Structure 1
């Protein structure tokens, strides 16, 4: 999960005491606002439960903070919260959930009242869930799956998502709703009624389907999502496969449809809405799909031919998401745009590409999910390949170093070119 504090407000309470209000964002969306003293009290409560297992909390200042001190505290709080949500033991505790629940309700001035929440299925139908505004996503998901008669043991394979209906029949997956979010507040805080709460499978290895095929309700959910993605052209069947799949839809043969989809290119991939990239030139349109342990980017520059880059997770060295200020406005969604920057290895070359998309956090979550799903044998193979690449680069660096040492023994000074050789060698080695 990605949590950050991009916005702070300098305010004054009823007694005239000035304080800083921190806006905490989860996956690019405001989840709550809190003062330092509230977070400090919460940390003390957690410390009674978990002791030294907790990350360091930013210390108190007894004198007025400078701008530099205020910025340092913001960053420290950001790192503290990120470590908390990344720890399943802490984030799954009752004290953690209580604080997040109360903070969300207080921030949006919402009381806990009984409601009926519509949770949509991929075919457009929906189930009505009896819930409270204070119910977490985990509780709402359990209630919805119970109504669908899905086995409790299979709950881990599904999640709630915020999606947006487009003008055509397509949808855009906006974000996954994390277990401690309050779905009602998340959907209530969206700008218009084109957004909705959906149930979708939450895995990106298409062969995981086989784990669910013993449950009729699971088969139905997988079938509905597979048909939806087939009709939105997220998958890439051949013409022959397309005809067979269309026939299976018409006859309602769900199992045969799913069996055939396993053989279709890009089955189970999530495709992002329209994106732009700085590669091969600024403003290039790019279609991004993610699934089955790979990221596929099809770049279409304004002038020139399309270029397809397919990257296995083993080729990705790191990635990060930035929230960048774009314009003034009341809504954070209007004031910020997101950039996803990926570094990867192609051959023996380290490369970098930046993609501008409002689904940047979702893309990052999908990549993390694939890393977690990757079989142990595949991880071992990837590490062996990476080790072999490192050895090759190291050998090249050693040869360059020996050449320089030979020059030094003869009493020669290093030339600028030779200095660069040594520096580049160590740089490559660190990769």
Structure 2
């Protein structure tokens, strides 16, 4: 999740309960307005964070100091930037974001913001929510409160599907957008937000957004644990159909004709052999070609503990869709950061291209924040299986990486393209 504070709102003394003007800092998550908080509220949040989590937040950005005189417009903007950097530095800390305090603080903040926005209109007491499966099957959930949390919505969905509690950890709720007759992922829902409020805010940016219930893991071996139960098997089957449909246009294969006549277990078994089964596909991306150093259009896919970047062929005389591809193993990524400016949105990461050699790469895409979320969830899943639980991922500040790709050589590119150096058991450890 990417926290940002792109702007502020001034509340006049007439609109203020205590008859004093103040500034609200508008907090966004992945580019969508989440809540608005005063400096004093964020300062109290920081006081509690420092009291309870100081040992795990050594590298966090300092909280901007209190000032005793009225701030100028320039000083307000400086405080906005410093507050944004502060939030971005503490949010990656898992012990903080998984704590009851963090969840309750931001739930209250979201609710307060939502209530204030409904001052001049009636806030509904009860609502009906529609949740979809990836095959567009609808589940209507009635008599919900706008302030019911994610857990209540999730359990309502599992009751509709008749899902046993032993399978709960394999599934979750996500925000999708229905566009061009297909569902495209926006992001997962988090425990510190109210699903209905987040959904309403998301619709302001993504008009055709919807809530989707689907599997939430990356390791395809988990599929095998779900095939013996008819309800979970049906969900895996729906996911398999979705994955195949998403990848048809980028991966021509004879497998599709065979899949047309198969169902359930046979379909899943064959679909699992497809190139992009279990992958997310990001269409509109661009990245520097490592040979020409030109910014080139590409399609990015994430799954099976790797990112695959396929450079799109712009030669009209060549019928091939792609000219080359690069594979980035997630266990070779040391750190990453989402960079969000008025002119560009990208994700920059440091990658181990060979022993003792780390290089920076940048992928430009409107879905940079979602890619970051995917990388973090893959890392979390890897670490959950590993006894050595020290996280290899650190979010760092990158100030001047515009020339990060300039030192690449052709041999580096060839090595990176097929990851040959990583496929030899020559002592090159993962990060």
TM-score bracket relative to the smaller structure: 0.7 to 0.9
User: Alpha-carbon deviations, 1:307-336, whole Å to 9, x = none?
Assistant: 20011113323322111114xxxxxxxxxx
Report the CA distance shift for 1:88/1:379 in structure 2 as closer, same or farther (over 3 A): closer
* Unaligned runs of at least 5 residues, structure 1: 327-336, 384-430
Q: Could you tell me which of 225, 232, 235 is aligned with 2:246?
A: 232
Per the TM alignment, residue 45 of structure 1 is displaced from its structure 2 partner at its CA by 6.5
Indicate yes or no: 2:48 matched with 1:40.
Answer: no
Match of 1:60 among 52, 62, 66: 66
Contact 2:247 2:276 in 1 (8 A): no
Structure 2 gap segments, 5+ residues each? 393-430
Q: How does 1:288-299 map to 2 (within 5 A)?
A: 288-299=300-311
Q: Specify whether residues 243 and 162 from structure 1 end up closer, same or farther in structure 2 by C-alpha distance, changes over 3 A only.
A: same
TM-score, length-normalised on structure 1? 0.74
Match of 1:128 among 140, 150, 154: 140
Following the alignment from structure 2 to structure 1, what is the Cα–Cα distance between the partners of residues 224 and 249? 19
Question: Does the CA-based 8 Å contact 2:131-2:139 persist in structure 1?
Answer: yes
Aligned with 1:151 (options 164, 169, 175): 164
Greater Rg over alpha carbons, structure? 1
* Structure 2 equivalent of residue 3 of structure 1: 3
Indicate if the aligned counterparts of 1:284 and 1:301 stay in contact, CA closer than 8 A: no
Counterpart contact for 2:243–2:276, Cα < 8 Å: no
Does the CA-based 8 Å contact 1:235-1:267 persist in structure 2? Answer: no
Match of 1:366? 374
TM-score (norm. length: structure 2): 0.74
CA distance in 2, matches of 1:235, 1:368: 28
- Structure 1 partner of 2:348: 341
Q: How does 1:110-189 map to 2 (within 5 A)?
A: 110=118, 111=123, 113-130=125-142, 131-167=144-180, 169-189=181-201
RMSD in angstroms over aligned alpha carbons? 3.4
Aligned length: 367
Contact 2:175-2:210 within 8 A present in 1 as well: yes
Report Cα offsets for 1:333-379 as digits up to 9, x if no partner.
xxxx5212233233465443332222111111111122222265798
Contact 1:120 1:196 in 2 (8 A): yes
Deviation per residue, 1:236-267 (Å, 9 max, x gap): 7774432322211xxxx312222222222221
Q: CA deviation at 1:201?
A: 1.5
The answer to whether the 8 Å contact 2:7/2:80 transfers is no
Give the match for residue 29 of structure 2: 26
1:318 aligns to 2:335 (yes or no): yes
If each structure's helix is expressed as a fraction of its own residues, which one has the higher value? 1
Query: What is the match of residue 218 of structure 1?
Result: 232
* Residues 247 and 36 (structure 1), Cα distance of their counterparts in 2 relative to 1, 3 Å cut: same
Mapped to 2, the partners of 1:371 and 1:200 lie a distance apart of: 20
Residues 39 and 228 of structure 1, relative CA distance in 2, 3 Å threshold? same
Give distance in 1, aligned partners of 2:348 and 2:41: 34
